[in-house]
Structure 1
Amino acid sequence: MAVYIYSITFKDHPLRIHGLEGVGESGSPLRTVTAGPLCAVVSDAPEELRPKRRDIGRHQEVQQRLLTDGTVLPLRFGYTAPDEDTVKQTLEERGDEYADRLRLLEGCVEYNLKASQDEEMLLREILTDSAQARRLNDDIRAGTATPDAAVTLGEIVANEVRARQEALASGVIEALRPFAREIDSSPPTGTDFLNVSFLVSDEQDELFLATELSLAHQMGEGFEFRLNGPLPPYSFS
Structure 2
Amino acid sequence: MAVYVYSITSKDLPMRLDDLHGVGDPPSPLRTVTAGVLCAVVSDAPEDLRPRRRDVLAHQQVQERLMADGAVLPLRFGMTAENDEVVRAALEDSADTYQEQLRNLNGATEYNLKVSWEEEALLRRILLESEDARKLNAATREGGTPGMSLALGELVAQEAEVRQQALAAGIVEALRPYVRDESLTSPGGHDFLNISFLVQQDKEEMFLATEISLANQLGEECEFRLSGPLPPYSFV
- Tell me if both proteins adopt one fold, taking TM over 0.5 as the criterion: yes
Q: In the alignment, does 2:149 pair up with 1:150?
A: yes
C-alpha offsets along residues 94-129 of structure 1, whole Å, 9 cap, x if unaligned? 011101111111111001111111110001111111
Secondary structure of 2:5's partner? Answer: strand
TM-score normalized by structure 2? 0.97
- Contact preservation (8 Å) 1:2, 1:82: yes
| AA in 1 matched with 2:156 | V
| AA in 2 matched with 1:61 | Q
**In structure 2, how many angstroms separate the alpha carbons of the residues matched to 1:164 and 1:203?**
33
- Contact preservation (8 Å) 1:19, 1:29: no
Q: In the alignment, does 2:101 pair up with 1:126?
A: no
1:31-50 to structure 2, matched below 5 A, reads 31-50=31-50
Name the residue aligned to 2:191: 192
How far does residue 25 in structure 1 lie from its aligned partner after superposition?
2.2
How much identity, in percent, do the aligned residues show?
Answer: 60
Q: Which runs of 5+ in 1 are unaligned?
A: none
C-alpha offsets along residues 61-93 of structure 1, whole Å, 9 cap, x if unaligned? 110010011111111111110111000000000
Runs of 4+, deviation exceeding 3 Å: none
Secondary structure of 1:127's partner? Answer: helix
Which 10-residue stretch deviates more, 31-40 or 222-231? 222-231
Name the residue aligned to 1:89: 89
**In structure 2, how many angstroms separate the alpha carbons of the residues matched to 1:176 and 1:147?**
44
**In structure 1, how many angstroms separate the alpha carbons of the residues matched to 2:19 and 2:99?**
27
**In structure 1, how many angstroms separate the alpha carbons of the residues matched to 2:140 and 2:169?**
34
**In structure 2, how many angstroms separate the alpha carbons of the residues matched to 1:120 and 1:54?**
40
1:186-225 to structure 2, matched below 5 A, reads 186-225=185-224
| AA in 2 matched with 1:181 | R
Name the residue aligned to 2:6: 6
TM-score normalized by structure 1? 0.97
C-alpha offsets along residues 200-232 of structure 1, whole Å, 9 cap, x if unaligned? 111111111111111111111211111111111
Q: Which runs of 5+ in 2 are unaligned?
A: none
| AA in 2 matched with 1:40 | A
**In structure 2, how many angstroms separate the alpha carbons of the residues matched to 1:147 and 1:103?**
59
Which 10-residue stretch deviates more, 127-136 or 110-119? 127-136
Name the residue aligned to 1:56: 56
Secondary structure of 2:223's partner? Answer: strand
